[in-house]
Amino acid sequence: MGFRQSWFLVVLAILPIVCHGVCNYPAIFNFGDSTSDTGSIHYVFPYNELAESPPYGQTYFGKPVGRYSDGRLSVDFFATALGLPFLSPYLQSVGSNFGHGVNFAAAGATVRETSFIAPVSLTVQINQFKIFKQKVLDSINQHGPLDYLPSEEAFKSGVYVLEIGGNDFSFGYMNLNLTPAQVKQTMLPKVARAVAGAVQALYDEGARTVLVKDVAPQGCGSFWLTYFYPSDFDQNGCSTSYNDAVLFYNRVLRTQLAKLRRKLSDASIIYVNTYDIVYDFFSNPSKHGFQETTKACCGVGGNYNYDYAVQCGSSGTIKGQNVTAVACANPGAHVTWDGVHWTDEANRLLTKQILSGNYFEPSFSLAKFCDLQSV
């Protein structure tokens, strides 16, 4: 749904995730939606996004930086763990440095080309990448290597990450008025095939290491629990039907990637199981240091501290009362930041688990290429 401090501070902040030594991945090319958008949507619709206003960014950056969180996103932690700076958004016209990769993700983006929140579907992002790559190679041929642009080798040996799909569900629910069962039947296989098609397109452009993240448990999110009024709950307070739709999609995505993997045997095409990581935050919160799960940190109203009419950082009227959706005192104690997106702490723990390698299918070791260490 819905959008550089010193190097020393970055390294300290990501502990216990650190990277020692040289990493053989010189760049990250990221594609996705608001879960990994580091500012693109701000440049598409300037002064029209919640993430441009406080309290977004308050925990780490101290100000809004176009990220839908109180701090860093998983892609930020991932970049730091690989020894790379944060990724500049592709559409950022001033102050960008693409020497270590590019972030094409945009909040509201869908996999399929639908008219939803933002006109920056995965197809658009892949096309942006193709144009970017060609312009970079043309520049290298004319001027030689430039520090602020990726090297030709970076396009071959970089890591490509896809983190997208959640908004396709929401489009089905909100725009087409479909139930979770209907979304499963009519939409999700097409979405999974489109993701596989995007991976194929990246492979055709030279990508050989592609990480594809699945969709996290939407049925545990404050937005879904409030906007759709589900009546089926599991022992952790999550909607079984909305989570079942996600689990169905993730299984189909696994199958599509497995087929592609057999076809593209010289590539590492990795399914990243984020669902199980995040669901454990909801089922075993104290193990991870969380005190609140389905209740958003930033919001206003009800059991989930969320109201679609007055979202995080905005003001409005609810039942005749003028209210402002403000942040909680301790965001790190919450899994959910604004009802849809994760807190800085949840993103940190999510990335730590991903880097462990236990949630890659098939098995894949980042430690083979980077000296990753947990402390």
Q: Is 42 a catalytic residue?
A: no
User: Quick check: helix, strand or coil at residue 102?
Assistant: strand
CB-based contact 369:23 (threshold 8 Å): yes
CB-based contact 209:159 (threshold 8 Å): yes
**Amino acid letter at 270?**
I
Helix axis angle, 240-263 relative to 274-283, nearest 10°? 150
Q: Is 334 a catalytic residue?
A: no
Annotated active-site residue in 214, 307, 338, 344:
338
CA distance 11 to 9: 5
DSSP state of 82: T
Residue for token digits 């919160």? 285
CA distance 302 to 297: 12
Q: Is 34 a catalytic residue?
A: yes
Annotated active-site residue in 33, 34, 70, 76:
34
Instruction: Give how far Cα 158 sits from Cα of 124, 155, 251, 300, Å.
Output: 20, 6, 27, 42
For the chain, give the number of residues: 375
Instruction: Give how far Cα 144 sits from Cα of 9, 41, 138, 148, Å.
Output: 33, 32, 9, 12
User: Quick check: helix, strand or coil at residue 373?
Assistant: strand
**Amino acid letter at 230?**
P
Annotated active-site residue in 37, 334, 341, 344:
341
DSSP state of 173: I
Give Cβ neighbours of residue 200 (< 8 Å, ≥ 6 apart): 260, 264
Catalytic residues: 34, 338, 341
